[in-house]
Amino acid sequence: MWLLPTALLAAAVSVVGAVVVGPASDGPPTLPFGVFVLFPAAVVALVLRGRVGGVVVLALVAFLVVMSFPRIVADLSGERGLPAAVLRGVEAACVGVAVYAAAGRLRQPPSGGGRSASTRPAQIFALLGLSAIGAELLAAYGDSTGDPQAIAFALVFFGGLYGAPALLARELVRRLGWGWPSLLLLFAALGTAQACLIDQSVFAVDYQDYEGWQANRDATLIPALGISASNTFNFVLGHLIYSFAAPVALAEAWAPRRAREPWLGPVTTVLAALAYLGTAGVILSDPESHSGSSVQLAVSAGVVVAFIVAALLLGRAHVAVPKAATGRLPVWAVLTFTLIAALISDLGSAAAWPGFAVGLAANGLVGVGILVAARTGRWSLRHSAAVGLGYLLSRGMVAFTYFPLIGDVEAFPKYAHNTVMLVIVLVAGALALRPEPSPIAADPKT
């Protein structure tokens, strides 16, 4: 009862504070970071009932507190005067009541529909956010690292750039009754389009002033093609895994009974398409995204079409139903194997051609292992989610070993950013890997 009004009130107080007190330092007024978190929390409280809504709201509030903690302490101590301290106190009180109400939802008994009841909006929103996190924020390589307002913008923008096409590809595959092989081919098409046609980073000699870009590119440069072997492999495969496949695998595993069902209606499909086209158009309008020659762009477009045709042919092909296996692979073993392979690939990527070969072999082993396990019927949604979680955990862990490649980010916000993103991935993975109360039949096309 109290969750929605208190979240809205806290957001309103945050806006009033920005107008009355002004920004924290000299400069134009800006919309406070709390609004980007508290208004979505209010929407979640309205749309998602029961435990799911409570968990999502608690996660949003925890993210707000961690990212805004220095500002909260400064305002409450009176650093910006009494009005700022009073407004911040009221906002904190409202957030506290909202947290209490959200925690109360966790004590509610589950609805009759089980885990799959009322989860579709949560899965859609979470997929959008996880795609943005997996593609950009988890790696923490940009100057948005540790900047709450930049992170809030990135969640929205990259949710449209990566999460929207992931939703659309998944929707097409699920409506046509295809399986994960076709979905992965569509994701490969999207990854190729992003890296070669939209931002064209594969062809860039020096992209967005990122430190070490040219040296890394030259280490595995193929002069005849004008591309770096490691960059091409990492960008296309990286988008396939982190931007699309891993978020979809986790989101589907939260409600296994609905994993094969469509999630979008006509209106949401159009909105997802507009979000993708709009964000891709913004990237294309950047002069830095015009690196490819006409021949390179034509070949890239041909590769995208080839992936789509392969997805179509594979989806329409008859797939034999595997024989029932005597047992399932331990999920923890799949997670551990994937995590080790991903870490080997990530940590060895800086070693030029040897690193490229190691990464190719490590990821190839994961792919072969999945193929063998799926053909023997020992694979499930939770195993797919374990693979996705292993890759995301590797990216989040490796991000602690370097500072952003652009901009000047202090240590505290950098490591706070790394920690928060990794915790979000862990929570998403824990929800996906929970044992289902009743057995779920294996997907013959997985």
3-state DSSP of the chain: CCHHHHHHHHHHHHHHHHHHCCCCCCCCCCCCHHHHHHHHHHHHHHHCCHHHHHHHHHHHHHHHHHHHHHHHHHHHCCCCCHHHHHHHHHHHHHHHHHHHHHHHHHCCCCCCCHHHCCCHHHHHHHHHHHHHHHHHHCCCCCCCCCCHHHHHHHHHHHHHHHHHHHHHHHHHHHHHCCCHHHHHHHHHHHHHHHHHHHCCHHHCCCCCCCCCHHHHHHHCEECCCCEEHHHHHHHHHHHHHHHHHHHHHHHHHCCHHHCCCCCCCHHHHHHHHHHHHHHHHHHHCCHHHCCCCHHHHHHHHHHHHHHHHHHHHHHHCCCCCCCCCCCCCCHHHHHHHHHHHHHHHHHCCCCHHHHHHHHHHHHHHHHHHHHHHHHCCCCCHHHHHHHHHHHHHHHHHHHHHCCCCCCCCCHHHHHHHHHHHHHHHHHHHHHHCCCCCCCCCCCCCC
Side chain identity, residue 251? A
Q: For residue 324, give Cα distances in angstroms to 321, 444, 445.
A: 9, 10, 14
Chain-centroid distance of CA 247 in Å reads: 6
User: What phi and psi, each to the nearest 5 degrees, are found at residue 222?
Assistant: -110, 95
The pLDDT value given to residue 90: 74
Side chain identity, residue 132? A
Q: For residue 399, give Cα distances in angstroms to 19, 163, 428.
A: 37, 21, 18
The pLDDT value given to residue 10: 63
Q: For residue 304, give Cα distances in angstroms to 216, 297, 298, 309, 415.
A: 25, 10, 10, 9, 37
The pLDDT value given to residue 33: 53
- The residues near 27 (Cβ < 8 Å, ≥ 6 apart) are none
Measured CA to CA, the distance from residue 150 to residue 373 in angstroms comes to 41
Question: How many other C-beta atoms lie within 10 A of the C-beta of residue 109?
Answer: 7
**Is there a contact between 369 and 333 (Cβ–Cβ < 8 Å)?**
no
The pLDDT value given to residue 63: 67
The pLDDT value given to residue 19: 56
What Rg do the C-alpha atoms of the chain give, in angstroms?
23
The pLDDT value given to residue 391: 96
What's the half-sphere exposure (Cβ side, CA atoms, 13 Å) at 111? 13
Count of positions (residues) in the chain: 446
Is residue 167 classed exposed, middle or buried when 0-12, 13-18 and 19+ CB atoms within 10 A define those classes?
A: buried
Which residues does the chain have with pLDDT short of 70? Answer: 1-53, 63-72, 75, 80, 105-119, 318-327, 349-351, 436-446
Measured CA to CA, the distance from residue 301 to residue 72 in angstroms comes to 49
Question: How many other C-beta atoms lie within 10 A of the C-beta of residue 348?
Answer: 16
CA proximity to 345, closest of 401, 400, 394? 394
Measured CA to CA, the distance from residue 106 to residue 125 in angstroms comes to 20
Measured CA to CA, the distance from residue 156 to residue 96 in angstroms comes to 26
β-sheet bridge partners, residue 206: none
Helix axes 33-47, 148-158, angle to 10 degrees: 50
The pLDDT value given to residue 31: 43
Measured CA to CA, the distance from residue 440 to residue 446 in angstroms comes to 13
